[in-house]
A and B are shown apart, each in its own frame.
Chain A
Amino acid sequence: MRDLLSGNYAIAEAVRMAKAQLIPAYPITPQTPIYERLSEMESQGTLPGVMVRVESEHSAMAMCIAASLAGVRVFTATSSQGLALMHEMLHFASGNRVPVVMGCVNRVLAVPWSFGSDQTDTLSQRDTGWMQFYCEDNQEAFDTVIQAYRISEATMLPSMVIIDAFFNSHFIEPMDVPDQRLIDLFLPQATLPERFDLNDPAFISNVVTSGAQFLPFRERAFTDMEKAKEIIREVDIEYRAQFGRGYGMVETVQTKDAQLVLVTSGSMTSTARMAIEALRDKGLKVGLLKIKAFRPFPSREVEDALQNIPKVAVIDRNISIGKEGIFCQELKSALYNSTARPRIYGYIAGLDGLDVSPEIIENICLEVLGKEMPDNLPIWVKGN
């Protein structure tokens, strides 16, 4: 069915159709409409799950973890400060290997206080053991929520489905909402382990007393995250077969002959597609690499895409102060031991939702094409 939905509403719709059973939620701009939409559904009797209006994001995640351990499919959503408050529980969720799916709407972290998009909030959670999927548009957000449940429940690792503040969260786009029956076929009711069995009682996640006990659990989570890459691919292929849409961990556009590949994530990718078209029209061999999965990081896909590419420009809507854009860093580290060794140019653009227009992206490409060596530090793009 074709529908017009904002990114937030698309996520809410996906959560409804995924039949999440428990949804503890707490408001924060710009994620709030997810919470509001789900509440509306609940009051209309169309939400199969139960909502709990908790008093903080931290408690929301605590409740998600607990309910998931008790065998229930859960969902919550947050942004920015809320995600930062949750930080402890993010580690706790992945440590407990619970397949929580969380919607994240990127927003700057104070200070200064503001509301625009900035991926630093989710990227700061890089090492929490969560899978992270950065979505380009509202359709992808919807599809990724559905896929994320399959992936998380298969890997027993939690997932963040991430969109940009306002560009995604509040902009209404036409999209396809599949039939519930097809969703049910793709994503059946959760069959999660029930950790609290009265007939075989166990103390779950109690203290380990040595590194020798600790290490195998971390190592196992690591290898399961590695295996998740294959699962993400399989689930995506299945989804494409069922619904005619798929995304991959990365997507390449005209990279085969490119002299320069632009690397983007999130909503900026749509703009980049236009800029690439324009540059190609001008005869410049420019391609695009969209990174969707940030954790697990698709090193092999990135390597494959950038073989024989002389230059790469990474536009980060985030900043790791003291280093550079975070996608840029990740890309560099992924390629260091690779035979693909392009020169990588880092740009910081669009913080706090600052507009990154096609012209800005074109100018970045032109600049990189004309520049022999990358700068040591990222280049801050301050607008037109």
Chain B
Amino acid sequence: MTTQENLRAADYETIIPVSRANTKVFKTGQWSQKKPTHHPKLSPCREACPVGNNIPGALAHVSKGDYNAALALILQENPLPGICGRVCYHPCQTSCNRNQFDETVEIRSLERAIADYGCATPQICSSPTDNKTTIAVIGSGPAGLSAAYFLALFGHRVTIFESRAEPGGVLRYGIPEYRLPGEVLNREIGRILALGIDLEKGVRIDSERLDDLQDRFEYIFLGTGAWLPQKTGLSSENRETIQYGLDFLSHEKKEIFCQGKKNIVVIGGGDVAVDVARTARRLCGPGTVITMIAPEKEGDFPAIPEGLAEAEDERIRIIGEYQPIEFIGNSHLEKVRFVRTKVEKDRVTGRYTLLPGDGNDLLVDADLVLIAIGQLPDTGLFLPEIVDKDFSKVFVNDLGMTPSSRFYAGGDLTRKRPAVADAILSGKRAALSIHLKANGYDPEIIIPALTLGQGSSLSISAYIEAGLIDLKKVVQFAELNTLLYRKTGAEHGTKSPPETRRTDFSEVNGGLERKAAIDEAKRCFYCGSCIGCDLCFLLCPDISIAKEGDRIYRVDKDYCKGCSICATVCPRHVIEMEESQ
């Protein structure tokens, strides 16, 4: 072999630096003790939602056009999304972080879109090993339907007893069709009953039957609502030309009260009052003067603002800061006298007190007065120990249980906030309590753990998938990285024109079209929820975040230098830095 061949055969690897050793031998993660964790948190909308809807999760599905998945997720928390999507007072939107950026996401419209466009069967979340029990649900309003729904999902035997001809309670007999079409109601109740719930209609529960139910069922849920009208207590109140909110709305031939009336006065500023006024408008025709008068300031009425605005569009006059003092007229009502009033809210109890205000009395022409200043439950039937001394409500504790341990209650009967979403919450809470108790768990420990944020709403999915999300931490606006968001106006649905509404009970709000709903869902910040944007993964300078599946990331602490880019960049504040040992 020649020298040339010797050299040619030389190891080329040793004559210049040839570097192949993997840098992974350097555990650069030791440079810092700070490490990120993916820590999903609560969005303020979800904390505010009494039903505990996983709003960011559902909207993420909608943003991809997947209404079915969105509905499946919503149905984990809310048995009545099509109804809430129409009539809810949407505290979610009030607390939406987007308010501090441009304007709130139209969450309620999106819930409606999900319910209307999606198709899903409620997920059966019971375990075959769970103990099953039997429950009678009295009343098929939102509270009773909610209790029945969740109890059925947990695998229990549920029978609903409803005194009226059809189920739905206030949803069917209190909320007019132009806000909540019957077909939507039927669809949603149908989905609940399809879980295997027995419904006995036209059954009024008296004390005898109640005793019978106690024999037949392990637990009884009371959800009979509040159907008795709150009266003004004025001496001149008792006459035929004065009617009351729910009585009027649920009356089969309510048009007879309105026929030929020229001046209708509606007293009250809540949603029932608005519905009364708008129903009267549709029954009377455009010529009648309808005036709605309430003690609150205009703008502070308890009713949902959109409903009030729609009422004004329908030429309903709205006057604030007055309360009635006298109904004037002999055989026929002629006028109502109002006095100036102001409302004070007690900071501690939250109760409202009416005080005299400054200003002259108001005389309003009236040939029909519709009073909608509140409803009271009929508690006469129930055991004295569960009812307060004024017979004005049934007592329940934080678990939804009455002082009598087999009786649970919810909805307007307990005189919490008289809203559909709150009624659903009460039914859900009672259902969960019953389920936990039936299986030997302590609801007093578990229910607070499933309470969202500082609020009172409950998440059933949190019960099922415990540990996936921190239910106590709510993402604040300042914690979001909003750099990657653009300011855009919200998508609003169409409304039928006011002139056609005056005689027509068809639905006023058209809702969002599919495409508009997708666009609107994309506006969601998804506060606290990982949507799998991969920014944390892609932007890690140290390739120390591994992607192990859709929205599944693993931090390799051997290489994470703790730079915190992932936590800082995350537009949703999912990631947090923690000191690691």
Contact = CB atoms under 8 A, between A and B. Distances in A.
Is there direct touching of A and B in the complex, by C-beta distance under 8 Å?
yes
Interface of A: 95-97, 150, 153-156, 193, 195, 200-206, 208, 213, 216-217, 220-221, 224, 227, 230-231, 234-235
B8 A153 contact: yes
A234 B1 CA distance: 12
A117 B169 CA distance: 111
Interface in B26-48: none
Contacts of A230: 3
Contact of B19 (A96, A203, A234): A203
Interface in B10-36: 10, 12, 14-20
Contacts of B18: 195, 202-204
Given A220-B14, A230-B3, A234-B3, A206 B19 contact: yes
Contact of A224 (B15, B19, B20): B15
B15 A200 contact: no
Given A96-B16, A201-B20, A203-B20, 10 more contacts: A97-B15, A154-B3, A156-B15, A200-B20, A204-B17, A217-B15, A224-B10, A227-B3, A231-B4, A231-B7
Contact of B15 (A202, A206, A221, A234): A221
B580 interface: no
Contact of A234 (B2, B8, B16, B20): B2
A204 B18 CA distance: 5
B20 A217 contact: no
Contacts of B15: 97, 156, 217, 220-221, 224
26 contacts: A96-B16, A97-B15, A97-B16, A150-B4, A153-B8, A154-B3, A154-B8, A156-B15, A200-B20, A201-B20, A202-B19, A203-B18, A204-B19, A205-B16, A206-B19, A208-B17, A213-B17, A217-B17, A220-B14, A224-B7, A224-B10, A231-B3, A231-B4, A234-B2, A234-B3, A235-B4
Contacts of A154: 3-5, 7-8
A246 to B, nearest CB: 16
A201 B19 CA distance: 9
Q: Which of A96, A154, A213, A230 has the most CB of B within 10 A?
A: A154
Contacts of A156: 7, 10, 12, 15
Nearest to B18: A202
Interface in B179-213: none
Contacts of A231: 3-4, 7
A137 B5 CA distance: 30
Contacts of B8: 153-154
A52 B203 CA distance: 98
Contacts, number: 57
Interface string B292-330: 000000000000000000000000000000000000000
B16 A217 contact: yes
Interface of B: 2-8, 10, 12, 14-20
A51 B18 CA distance: 29
Closest 3 A/B residue pairs (Cβ) = A154-B4, A193-B12, A203-B19
A47 B6 CA distance: 32
Contacts of B6: 227
Contacts of B4: 150, 154, 231, 234-235
B14 A227 contact: no
Contacts of A206: 17, 19
Contacts of A213: 17
Contacts of A227: 3, 6-7
Contacts of B20: 200-203
A155 B4 CA distance: 7
Contacts of B3: 154, 227, 230-231, 234
A205 B2 CA distance: 29
B417 to A, nearest CB: 66
Nearest to A213: B17
A1 to B, nearest CB: 28
A220 B15 CA distance: 7
A230 to B, nearest CB: 4
A231 B4 CA distance: 6
Nearest to A192: B12
A151 B19 CA distance: 27
A224 B8 CA distance: 11
Contacts of B12: 156, 193
Nearest to B6: A227
B7 A95 contact: no
A310 B3 CA distance: 35
Contacts of A97: 15-16
Contacts of A96: 16
A217 B19 CA distance: 14
Contacts of B7: 154-156, 224, 227, 231
Contacts of A202: 18-20
Contacts of A153: 8
A97 to B, nearest CB: 5
A220 B3 CA distance: 16
Contacts of B17: 204-206, 208, 213, 217
Q: Which of B2, B5, B17, B19 has the most CB of A within 10 A?
A: B17
B371 to A, nearest CB: 84
Nearest to A204: B18
A220 B17 CA distance: 12
A370 to B, nearest CB: 45
A66 to B, nearest CB: 13
A98 to B, nearest CB: 9
A301 to B, nearest CB: 16
Contacts of B5: 154
A213 B17 CA distance: 9
Contacts of B19: 202-204, 206
A192 to B, nearest CB: 9
B39 to A, nearest CB: 37
A37 B279 CA distance: 100
B295 to A, nearest CB: 80
A18 to B, nearest CB: 16
Contacts of A234: 2-4
A43 to B, nearest CB: 35
Nearest to A154: B4
A47 B14 CA distance: 34
Contact of B16 (A95, A150, A201): A95
Nearest to B7: A154
A242 to B, nearest CB: 15
Nearest to B3: A230
